[in-house]
Amino acid sequence: MGFPIWFAVIWALVLLVGGGLLTTIGEWYERLAKPSWQPPDWLFGPAWTVILGLAAWAFVLCWDAAADSGDTGWLIALYLVNGVCHFLWSPLFFNIRRPDWALIEVPFLWLSVLSLCIVLREWSVFASWLIVPYLAWVSFAAILNWKIVALNGPFTGRRAT
């Protein structure tokens, strides 16, 4: 296996495992008012697995074309920035218990995913389409995050039990 496959696999696994470890669904979360259209909790893990797997595949598909144009650093940077934005949301929402702060972070995550959709198109149109489910899911999650903030009012950051 070459570098692009290793990078893509490690990137996806770090985001999946790290995201899972940073997502503590406990009593605080269970007590939040949530919209009736929120998917069941068990769906989030499989959804993220598929989405990040597709994004990793997109990286591999783009690697050779990016290498030919001398843009591998740009491709890696896009994925690393997205990884940072991806990681910030869960601790804000679940660990610090500030869905309002997580909502402020969502546009940065969304823009990092949109950037992948747009820039990957330069190297592979198919790869850019593989990112669309990620963009759709983050868009849906942003609306869900907004609705949870709207239903629960302002958050103080106190760690309720």
pTM: 0.91
Reference 113, options 29, 35, 38, 55; nearest CA is 55
Please state which of the four CATH numbers 3.30.750.200, 3.10.129.10, 1.20.1260.100, 3.40.640.10 is assigned to the domain occupying 3-152. 1.20.1260.100
* Distant-in-sequence, close-in-space partners of 13: CB < 8 Å, separation ≥ 6: none
Q: Tens digits of per-residue pLDDT, 13-34?
A: 999 998 888 787 889 999 999 9
Q: Tens digits of per-residue pLDDT, 76-87?
A: 999 999 999 999
**What DSSP state is assigned to residue 39?**
P
Per-residue pLDDT, 1: 67
> Hey, CA dihedral for 141, 144, 150, 153, is it positive or negative?
negative
Q: Tens digits of per-residue pLDDT, 57-113?
A: 999 999 999 999 999 999 999 999 999 999 999 999 998 999 999 999 999 999 999
Look-up of token digits 């389409």: 129
Strand, coil or helix: 67? helix
